[in-house]
A and B are shown apart, each in its own frame.
Chain A
Amino acid sequence: ELKVEQNPLFLSMQEGKNYTIYCNYSTTSDRLYWYRQDPGKSLESLFVLLSNGAVKQEGRLMASLDTKARLSTLHITAAVHDLSATYFCALSGGSNYKLTFGKGTLLTVNP
């Protein structure tokens, strides 16, 4: 059974600082997603990572994938308040490609 662990689960940071969210998973997977969820809202897809060494960047967020280590990271550069949200990693695997989610990281960026 695929298990997905994120850490930290809670992250409070100051504007302008950098930080990294980690996503470890237990078995090989087809692809890895990062989603953002604002309070009371649905999930918004941020990145899809398909292969070892994949790196994608959008604004202040950069995601990478190391399939050998079964690790993905979401790096936040010079955080701003608008990035406050919960971030989930999710892996697609198995014959039906179902998504298995981590518990999420609640990010709070303080002015």
Chain B
Amino acid sequence: EAGVAQSPRYKIIEKRQSVAFWCNPISGHATLYWYQQILGQGPKLLIQFQNNGVVDDSQLPKDRFSAERLKGVDSTLKIQPAKLEDSAVYLCASSRTGKTEAFFGQGTRLTVV
């Protein structure tokens, strides 16, 4: 079974630029999560989808971050405009339902300079 796929693996951008990350979850997994992991900290949930609907986006900075999962499969996370403090690893995870174990992708390491 293929794991959670993310791209790109690394991205360096200047502040005020925009960036997008892509995630393909494990086949059949209805729940998809985006987490932000700042260096030295645990992952923090940004947004959770159940199929193509948003379940929780309470910690998503909506003035600059957006995410979508149009067909209930792949998802994109966008930051526009980026700030220095957005430098982090962005992890995508998926699970069969919200109650079951989540599997994580390798993440996208974003550096904002």
Contact = CB atoms under 8 A, between A and B. Distances in A.
Q: Do the two chains bind?
A: yes
A40 B43 CA distance: 14
**Size bin of chain A's contact surface:** 20 to 34
B14 interface: no
A43 B33 CA distance: 14
A46 to B, nearest CB: 11
A105 B105 CA distance: 21
Nearest to B91: A42
Contacts, number: 49
Contact of A97 (B43, B91, B98): B98
Interface stretch (A53-61, A63-71, A88-96): A88-96
A33 B55 CA distance: 21
Contacts of A104: 40-42
B103 interface: yes
B11 to A, nearest CB: 15
A48 B41 CA distance: 21
B13 to A, nearest CB: 20
Interface string B27-53: 000000100000011111100101000
B21 interface: no
The 5 A-B pairs of least Cβ separation, nearest first, read A101-B42, A97-B98, A42-B104, A43-B104, A96-B55
